[in-house]
Structure 1
Amino acid sequence: MPLTASFSDVRRDLSAIADKVMADHVQITVFRNNKPAFKIVPVDATSSGKGYLELANEVDSDYRDVFEALARES
């Protein structure tokens, strides 16, 4: 059975949800206004052959503009 969570559940319990995703290697679909909005998925470094630091650098380079825009808003 697919796991789901509401947006408000994620806001309230993100740490517990992240722990579940990482420990059980499951995907969780997050719903907002009763519609699927996004998924939280585990990163599996062993299947891609990359280490966690390489994956982090890859995400950083792919989304640097987003991170910089978010930093300017704070």
Structure 2
Amino acid sequence: MIKLTHLGGEPFVLNAELIRYLEASPDTFVTLTNGDRIVVREPTDVVVDRVIEYHQRKNLLPPGISRPNAGAE
């Protein structure tokens, strides 16, 4: 589970396993596996980082893995 914020400011927790893909246009849209879309305040890079941390906590990814090109911006 990852913590995110609706555009209106309400925090919520999302099961990261349900994320199909993310879009930035300019708001961040999270599309779920069931087709639902959620708009969140966090930029896509933050959502990706939280998903990576989630998988690391579940031991699905080894520690030290980060976003490709993180810090190259």
TM-score by length of 2: 0.23
Structure with the largest fraction of strand? 2
TM-score by length of 1: 0.23
Structure with the largest fraction of helix? 1
